[in-house]
Amino acid sequence: MKDWKKRYDKSIHLFQNGEIDKALIICEKLISENLKNTSALNLKGLLLYIKGDLKSAEAAWKINKDFNDDGISKGYLKDIQKDWERLALYDQALKDIKGMYINDAEKKLSVCSESDFNKINVNNAIAFCFIKKGEYEKAKECIDIVRGIDKNNKVALDNYKVIKEFSEEHKSNINFKLIIIPLIICFVGLVSYLLYKPVSQYISKVRTNYIASKSVKKNETNPTDKTNTNQTTTNNTKQQVPNNSATDKSTENSKQGEAKFPIDQVKAAVNDKDYNKLYTIITSFDKNKLGVNDKIAYNSGEQLLINSGVGTFYDSGRSYFSAKDFAKAKIEFEKASKFSKDTYLNPHIIYMLGATSERLEDYEKALAYYDQYVNNYYSGDYTAECLYKLATINNNSDKTKAKQYAEKISKDFSKSMYYNSTIKDILNIQ
C-alpha cells in the first residue's frame, strides 16, 4: 500500500514540475498492477485530458466509473460532451491557421482555452497566432503555460526560439559586457574622428605649403627648363589635347558605369527599419564586388532583412492574400523568399507562393513551389495538401505524374481528408 502511494505521489510531483509524460508512465504502471487503483486511473485520465487525448481520457474514467463506481470519474464524464465540441473547434482553428486566417483561429482557440482540455496544444496554437501578429509578450505567456505542464515540449521550445530571434523585447539575460564594450569602442572612435579631422587638415595644409614652396624654388633655380618646357608644350598642344580628352572621357564613362554602393542610405534604412528600401539596395549589388566598408554595411542590411524583414514581407503577403490581391501577395512572398532560407518561415513562404501562383493561374510555377515544399519539408504541415495539389493539377497535363503523387497520398496520408474520391479516381480505384 505504501509503495504504490509513494509512486503515486512521485507522479503528482513530476506533473507539477512540468514532466507530464514521466508522470503518465508511472500511472500506467500502477494501473497495470491494480485496475482498482482509482487515484491512478483518475490522474491518468486527467493527464491525457490535458494533453488533448480525449478518447483515452474518457476510456480511463469510464473504467473507473464502471469497475470502481468512482464519483470523481463520474464528475469528469458529466461534461465531456462540451470537450468533444471544443476538440472539433480546435481542429477548425488549425485549418484557419493553415489558411492564414489568424484572427478567426484566435477566436476559436479562445473558446477552447476555457477548460483544461487540450491545454498544451491550445496554448501552443494561441502562441503561434500571437507570434504571427507580433504580440510576443502574450505569446510568451502561452508558452510559459505549456512549459509549466511539459517543460520539454518541442513546439513550445520552437515558439520560444522564434520569439528570441524576432523580438527585441525578449532578448533575456542581457550581457552588459556586450553593451558596454561596443559603447566604449564607439566613444573611442568618435574621439579619434574628432581629433583626426583638425589634425588631418593641419597636415594637409603643411603638405600643400611644402609642395608650393618646393615648386617655387625649382622654378627659380631652372628658368631655362621652364622656358623649354613651355615651348615644347606649345609646339605639341594640337597633338596632345585630343589624346587627353579621349582618356578623360573614357575614365568618366567608366566611373559612371559603376554605381557606387550607397552606404549612408543603407545605414539610415537599417536604423529606420525601412525593409523595402533595404531590399531594393541589397538586391541591386553583388556583395563579392564590394570593398570592406561597403561589405560591412551590406551585411548589416542583409542580416536585418533575414531577422525581421522576412516576417514583415510575409505578413504583408498574407494580408494581400486574404484580401484576394494575389498579384501583390506574390510580390511580397517573393521578397520574403530571397532571405528566408534559414528561417522558420521558409516552408510557409514556399507553400504560400504555390497557393498564390495557383490563384493567379500560373500552374507551372504553382507545381514548382508545391514540389519544392514536398521535397524539402515532407514531414511538414502542408505536405498532404501539396501532394493533393500536385496530383490534381498534373492530372490535367501529365497523368503519370499525377498518379505518382496520388500513390504517396495513399501510402502516407490515407487517413487524411486528402485521400478522397478524386485521388482514388486518379489511382483508378473503384
Provide the pLDDT for residue 146: 94
Tell me the average pLDDT across 289-295.
Answer: 91
**Dihedral (C-alpha) 177, 181, 184, 185: value to the nearest 10 degrees?**
-170
pLDDT band at 63 (very low <50, low <70, confident <90, very high): confident
Residue 331 pLDDT more than 90? Answer: yes
Mean pLDDT of 174-181: 50
pLDDT, tens digit (0-9, with 9 covering 90-100), for 366-387: 999 999 999 999 988 789 889 9
Listed as own residue / partner, the contacts of 72-78 with beta carbons closer than 8 Å and 24 or more positions apart are 72/38, 72/42, 73/38, 73/41, 73/42, 73/45, 76/42, 76/45, 76/46, 76/49
Q: What is the pLDDT averaged over residues 206-225?
A: 46
Residues 20-48: pLDDT tens digits? 999 999 998 888 778 788 999 999 999 99
Pick the more confident residue, 381 or 319.
Answer: 319
For the residues of 88-129, what is the DSSP string, one character each?
HHHHHHHHHHHTT-HHHHHHHHHHHTTSSTTHHHHHHHHHHH
pLDDT (average), residues 131-154: 91
pLDDT (mean) for 275-291: 92
The residue type at 369: Y
Question: What is the DSSP annotation of 213-228?
Answer: HHHHHHHHH-HHHHHH
pLDDT at res. 184: 59
pLDDT value of residue 382: 84
Set of cell numbers at residue 194: 574628432
What's the rounded Cα separation, in Å, for the pair 61 and 75?
9
**With bands split at pLDDT 50, 70 and 90, how would you rate the model's confidence at 405?**
very high
Helices (H), 222-325: 223-235, 237-257, 263-272, 275-282, 292-304, 310-322
pTM of the model: 0.45
Q: Is a pLDDT exceeding 70 seen at residue 342?
A: yes
Q: Which residue has the cell 484572427?
A: 103
Q: Which of 28-37, 159-168, 170-179, 353-362 has the highest mean pLDDT?
A: 353-362
Average pLDDT over residues 204-230: 45
The answer, yes or no, to whether residue 197 has pLDDT greater than 80, is no
Residues 209-216 have a mean pLDDT of 47
pLDDT of residue 255: 40
Other Cβ atoms less than 10 A from the Cβ of 134: the count is: 13
For cell 486528402, what's the residue? 418
Between these two residues, 38 and 165, which has the higher pLDDT value? 38
CA 261 – CA 251 distance, rounded (Å): 19
Q: What is the arithmetic mean of pLDDT over 2-27?
A: 89
Looking at the predicted structure, is the pLDDT value of residue 114 above 50?
yes
What pLDDT was estimated at residue 48?
Answer: 94
Which of 67, 12, 14, 62 is closest to 40 using CA atoms? 12
Is the per-residue pLDDT at 119 higher than 50? yes
* pLDDT for the residue numbered 237: 38
- Percent of the chain scored above 90 by pLDDT? 49
Which region among 26-40, 108-122, 308-322 has the lowest average model confidence (pLDDT)?
Answer: 26-40
Give residue 187's pLDDT.
53
Residue type, 418: Y
Mean pLDDT taken over the chain = 81
Q: Which residue has the higher pLDDT, 260 or 175?
A: 260
Q: What is the mean pLDDT of residues 323-336?
A: 94
What average pLDDT does range 237-246 have in this prediction? 41
Percent of the chain exceeding pLDDT 70 equals 78
pLDDT at 117 over 70: yes
